[in-house]
């Protein structure tokens, strides 16, 4: 029994992990782009971007999942997500990427705006280009500053992936819950908790390591 539960949960967790990793792969860079948009001194860009961030951060991810999965089919009379498990997974991924890009963009924005203007000006008077200033001077300082809020957000993401089951993406809790019906046992559910605990524990260690790695310098 233990073995079959473990195997079932592992399949579910593989889906969880896939959703987690792919969400990060797309939303980390997309969030940076959105943060640039929200900081640009160009009204027709800045305000729509800020409005969009407000909508996404102000409504439940659960709601966004439902709207993104069912919306196109009902409005366009055409299921753009494709059929079956992979279609639902794609829809879930899109919802997660949009949602997390917006959260990340706000963390990036806070980090970028906290860098003193003197750092940019020092780079400018030394004849550096805007790109050089951003990549050689600003970026690492921003990364150092945003590690704590980022690690919070990313650990929240591990747990948020379980919301994908609302559109029947078979993640780890869904697998655990299925044993309540099929075998009348509850312990697989606690077992899923262990998966999350171990995974978020590993992430905590990883971020702690990154923080330590960047501890060799101090920003003001």
Report whether 69 contacts 88 (CB < 8 A). yes
Residue 130 CB, shortest distance to another protein, in Å, is: 7
**Residue 104, exposed/middle/buried by CB under 10 A (0-12, 13-18, 19+)?**
buried
By beta-carbon proximity to another protein, the closer residue of 78 and 220 is 220
By beta-carbon proximity to another protein, the closer residue of 52 and 120 is 120
The continuous run of DSSP H or E covering 13 comes out as: helix 2-39
Give the footprint of another protein on residues 80-139 (CB under 8 A).
Answer: 116, 118-119, 121-130, 132, 136-137
Residue 186 CB, shortest distance to another protein, in Å, is: 51
Q: Which positions from 143 to 162 touch another protein by CB under 8 A, shown as an x/- string? A: -x------------------
Residue 127 CB, shortest distance to another protein, in Å, is: 5
Report whether 155 contacts 204 (CB < 8 A). yes
For tokens 């929240």, name the residue.
156
Q: Indicate whether 58 belongs to the interface with another protein (CB under 8 A).
A: no
Binds another protein by CB under 8 A, chosen from 4, 86, 182, 219:
219
Residue 120 CB, shortest distance to another protein, in Å, is: 9
By beta-carbon proximity to another protein, the closer residue of 58 and 118 is 118
Q: What are phi and psi of 81, to 5 degrees?
A: -85, -5
For tokens 């963009």, name the residue.
105
C-beta atoms surrounding 206 within 10 Å: 12
Report whether 100 contacts 25 (CB < 8 A). no
User: Which residues bind to another protein, rule: CB under 8 A?
Assistant: 116, 118-119, 121-130, 132, 136-137, 140-141, 144, 216-220
């Amino acid at each position: 029994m233990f073995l079959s539960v473990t195997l079932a949960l592992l399949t579910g967790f593989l889906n969880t992990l896939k959703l987690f990793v792919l969400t990060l792969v797309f939303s980390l860079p997309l969030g940076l782009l959105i943060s640039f948009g929200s900081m640009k001194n160009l009204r027709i860009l800045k305000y729509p971007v800020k409005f969009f961030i407000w909508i996404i951060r102000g409504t439940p991810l659960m709601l966004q999942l439902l709207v993104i999965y069912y919306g196109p089919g009902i409005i366009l009379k055409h299921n753009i997500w494709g059929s079956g498990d992979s279609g639902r997974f794609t829809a879930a991924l899109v919802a997660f990427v949009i949602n997390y890009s917006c959260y990340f963009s706000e963390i990036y924005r806070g980090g970028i705006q906290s860098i003193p203007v003197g750092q940019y000006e020092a780079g400018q008077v030394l004849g550096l280009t805007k790109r050089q200033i951003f990549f050689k001077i600003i970026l690492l300082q921003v990364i150092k500053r945003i590690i704590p809020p980022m690690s919070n957000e990313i650990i929240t993401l591990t747990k948020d992936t379980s919301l994908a089951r609302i559109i029947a993406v078979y993640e780890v809790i869904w697998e655990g819950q299925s044993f309540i019906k099929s075998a009348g046992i509850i312990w697989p559910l606690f077992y899923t908790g262990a998966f999350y605990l171990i995974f978020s524990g590993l992430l905590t260690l990883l971020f702690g390591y990154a923080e330590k790695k960047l501890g060799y310098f101090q920003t003001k």
